[in-house]
Amino acid sequence: MHAVYALEIRRLCRGPSLWVMAAILQIVLAWYCLSALEHYLSMQAKIALSDNGPGLTTWLLARYSYPSAFALLLTVPALSMQSIATERREGSLTQLLVAPVSALSITLGKFAALATVLCGYVGLALLNYLCLALLAQLDLLAIAVAHVSLLALVLSAAAIGMFCSSLTTSSVASAFSTSAVILIMWLMGGSQEQLFAGLSIESLSLPSHLGRGLQGVLHSADISYFIIIIIAALLFACRRLSNLRLNGVN
């Protein structure tokens, strides 16, 4: 797994896309953060008059975290499409498949590299809060919880992306299918339909498990939801890699 990780992290870091996306992401996140801060400052007089007005942390988490989550999710298909689809197209996956490395090790190594990059991206979102913390008093614990939720969200999306990437040799098809699955899971939040007794479609959606975390509340059910998505998607990707070994890479 370490060798696969070493290979994958080099592949990701040596391409321009990772750095271009990081730069664009930081500009977008900083703009969102400054907009939320400016809005807070313009409303400060009104908030001060109310008995139960939100503090700066609550205000920022409510107005900055959701757009940040969406911006972070947009980077996932572009990163995850490279993990298997691009390697299959270029023929370099053969080197891994012929080596004495299990499909699970390949999957975990590739996912760990993807997770490292996404940790960096979530760190960029956190960086804006930390800069602000130098000038104002913020609830750092709530901010940390919100970013753990953000990380869980992007890691689930990355696992889904890896599975989609294992289904095709086309990077574009992989990126589109990942975006479609994430979008469907996001939009399911608007449905009130019941699947079974006590289980609504909404409860399977990404936003329903993200909301509490972004407000700074860590809920074990939400974390379990994201962990289940990650494990299921990685197992599917692993199974797909095993099939590629049996039936030929291309």
Partner 1 sequence: MSSKATEHAHQQPLLEAKDLSCAFNGELAVESLSLTLERAEVLGLVGLNGAGKSTTLRMLCGLIAPTTGEVRIGGYSLADQPAQARQQLGYLPDPPALHDCLSVSEAIDICARLHKLDKAERRSASERVLHQCQLESVKDKRIKALSKGFRQRTGLALALVHNPALLVLDEPASGLDPAQTQHLNQLIKELAKDRAIIFSSHSIADVQSCCTRVALLQNGRLIQDRKREPEEKTACFTLILREVISAKELFALPCVSKLVAIDRHTWHLELIDDNPDAIVAEILANNWGLRALSPQQDNVSAVLEHLRNGATNVEAA
Binding site for partner 1 (CB under 8 A): 2-4, 6-7, 10-11, 14-15, 90-102, 245-249
Least distance to partner 1, CB of residue 159, Å: 23
| 3-state class (DSSP) for residue 215 | coil
Least Cβ distance, residue 18 to partner 1 (angstroms): 11
Q: Which residues contact 244 (CB under 8 A, 6 or more apart)?
A: 88, 93, 97, 166
SS3 of 52, please? coil
What lies within 8 Å, CB to CB, of 91 at 6+ separation is 249, 250
Of 215 and 242, CB closest to partner 1? 242
Q: How far is the CB of 239 from partner 1 (least distance, A)?
A: 15
The CB-of-2 to partner 1 minimum distance in angstroms stands at: 7
| CA diameter of the chain | 69
Q: Of 113 and 153, which CB lies nearer to partner 1 in the complex structure?
A: 113
Q: Which residue has the tokens 């139960």?
A: 52
Q: Which of 11/212 has CB closer to partner 1? A: 11
- Which residue in this structure is represented by tokens 């960086």? 127
> Which residue, 147 or 240, is less far from partner 1 as judged by CB?
240
